[in-house]
Amino acid sequence: MSRVAYYFNNEIGNFYYGPFHPMKPLRMKMTHEMLRAYNILSKFNRIIPEDHPDFTSKIDFTNFHSDEYINFLMTVTPDNMNQMQEQLLYYSIGDDCPIFYGLGDFCRMSGTGSVLGAHYINEGWSQTSINWCGGLHHAKRSEAIGFCYLNDCVLAILELLTRHQRVMYIDIDVHHGDGVEEAFFCTDRVLTCSFHKFGDYFPGTGSINDIGAGVGKYYAVNFPCYEGMDDVSFEHIFQSTVNNCVEKFKPEAIVLQCGTDSLSGDRLGCFNLSIKGHSIGVRYVKTLGIPFMLLGGGGYTLRNVPRAWTNEAALSLDIELDDEMPKHDYLEYFYPEYKLNMPVSNMENVNTPEYLNSILEQIDNHLKNIHISNPDLNLNKGWVDPSIVKDFNPKDNEQEYIDKHPDEKFGEKDSVPLRNVENFEDDKGKK
């Protein structure tokens, strides 16, 4: 059986945030059909929730989210939302995170795919699990934000923690992985590492000095970048940083969020990565020999998302795809070249080698504080008391830390630039 497990639900492509919203769930369906056209689908161990009714029925999104918030997500519809004005405001529902038909099902599918993918790794059924319907890294415990409602990344990591002592989260979306970082800000069992555009950019967090707190101090790693990040620079900083984190932290499992808004020409992004440059994440993580999950994330130039995710899913199987795109239902989106790869722009890379090396040096200084005394201590135990995770409440942890350190600035968010989703025309692809 294939060592790569893959989740997809055929309905996911039908959900619709609205005509002027840049987030298009159709991109997951386009990826799925491109994988089929390249004859890759049959090579996966398919993750089918119905095959695991006992496990699936016990998936509990309130392991991270509040009961009230999950109840709200599962019951709110465009028809009853007017009677829920207070909750809409409280949970930050609005232009970025609208209420659409099937929202609860959308969240359930995305979350189930990631938690079940983690279960496949826990059980040793797969070395790699893929869920392109996940990676919704901004969602908070009781808040929808940045097009994200349910934080499947956090839920998957919590599942991995029931069997793995230390889990590393890597995020290559152009936006800071703030929701995941915040959830594990105060623990030393999860190291989060995000590469993102920083400075006057959503969500506003993720500076080099954003390093975690309490026992989690130094277990949050942030690589703030400027616009124009290109393949050569990205390869250098990704490999150096991830290699350094892995050496110090010795993770037993890795979750890689593969947001594609870091690609060149993204409608909301400002990096300049090619399809090949973006795949550095998967290529490098695969060489580590540690079980890993691939999750989706951002990506707003519709035709480029399936290019990257199809390529990266194939790479997880050690397959290099032909640049000539095979015939499939969405081929017209790739007119006129019909190629897997796409050209990058001639925009300036504002990230100078001096700047990047100075950040690498600062990260290295932070990581020197991480000492895993007995990395193999629990390796053969194969099981960690789930109560450690079940009772884990990041907000309690945070409050406890604030109470103990009243003078220290903590979790302070500068004015956060919100995304502006107005003036977005519906994406029909270029013809």
Please list the active-site residues. 138
177 counts as binding Zn ion under rule CB under 5 A: no
134 counts as binding Zn ion under rule CB under 5 A: no
Question: Which residue, 218 or 271, is less far from Zn ion as judged by CB?
Answer: 271
Q: Provide the 3-class DSSP secondary structure of residue 392.
A: coil
The residue range among 42-50, 166-174, 336-344, 367-375 that interacts with Zn ion, by the rule CB under 5 A, is 166-174
State which of residues 159, 173, 181, 266 lies at the interface with Zn ion (CB under 5 A).
173
Residues 249-288 that bind Zn ion (CB under 5 A): 259, 261
**Closest distance between Zn ion and the C-beta of residue 85, in Å?**
29
Reading the block at residue 311, the tokens are 């390529």
State which of residues 175, 189, 196, 303 lies at the interface with Zn ion (CB under 5 A).
175
Cis peptide upstream of residue 406 (ω within 30 degrees of 0)? no
**Closest distance between Zn ion and the C-beta of residue 352, in Å?**
24
**Closest distance between Zn ion and the C-beta of residue 425, in Å?**
20
**Closest distance between Zn ion and the C-beta of residue 419, in Å?**
9
Question: Which residue, 261 or 398, is less far from Zn ion as judged by CB?
Answer: 261
Farthest CA pair distance, the chain: 62
Q: CB–CB of 164/156 below 8 Å? A: no
Distance of CA 132 to the CA centre of its chain: 9
Report which secondary-structure segment, H or E, holds 152. helix 152-161
Q: Which residue is closest to Zn ion by CB?
A: 298
**Closest distance between Zn ion and the C-beta of residue 405, in Å?**
31
171 counts as binding Zn ion under rule CB under 5 A: no
Q: CB–CB of 378/166 below 8 Å? A: no
**Closest distance between Zn ion and the C-beta of residue 413, in Å?**
17
Which residue shows structure tokens 């959900």? 15
Distance separating alpha carbons of residues 353 and 348, to the nearest angstrom: 13
The residue range among 92-100, 170-178, 250-258, 368-376 that interacts with Zn ion, by the rule CB under 5 A, is 170-178
Q: CB–CB of 170/383 below 8 Å? A: no
Report which secondary-structure segment, H or E, holds 54. helix 53-57
Q: Which stretches within 219-342 are classed as H helix?
A: 231-249, 275-278, 280-287, 304-316
Question: Which residue, 251 or 299, is less far from Zn ion as judged by CB?
Answer: 299
| Strand bridging mode 128-131 / 292-295 | parallel
197 counts as binding Zn ion under rule CB under 5 A: no
Question: Which residue, 175 or 248, is less far from Zn ion as judged by CB?
Answer: 175
Q: Provide the 3-class DSSP secondary structure of residue 339.
A: strand
Distance separating alpha carbons of residues 136 and 155, to the nearest angstrom: 11
Question: Which residue, 136 or 158, is less far from Zn ion as judged by CB?
Answer: 136
Distance separating alpha carbons of residues 288 and 28, to the nearest angstrom: 27
Q: Give the single-character DSSP code of 215.
A: G
Question: Which residue, 117 or 146, is less far from Zn ion as judged by CB?
Answer: 146
Positive or negative: CA dihedral 96, 97, 101, 106: positive
The residue range among 20-28, 243-251, 290-298, 345-353 that interacts with Zn ion, by the rule CB under 5 A, is 290-298
Residues 376-415 that bind Zn ion (CB under 5 A): none
Q: Distance of CA 144 to CAs 54, 200, 343, 347, 391, Å? A: 29, 21, 34, 33, 22
Q: Give the single-character DSSP code of 64.
A: T
298 counts as binding Zn ion under rule CB under 5 A: yes
**Closest distance between Zn ion and the C-beta of residue 39, in Å?**
30
Q: Distance of CA 368 to CAs 60, 194, 245, 321, Å? A: 36, 18, 10, 40
135 counts as binding Zn ion under rule CB under 5 A: no
Question: Which residue, 33 or 173, is less far from Zn ion as judged by CB?
Answer: 173
**Closest distance between Zn ion and the C-beta of residue 395, in Å?**
24
Q: CB–CB of 309/262 below 8 Å? A: no
Distance separating alpha carbons of residues 398 and 333, to the nearest angstrom: 46
Contacting residues toward Zn ion, per CB under 5 A: 173, 175, 259, 261, 298
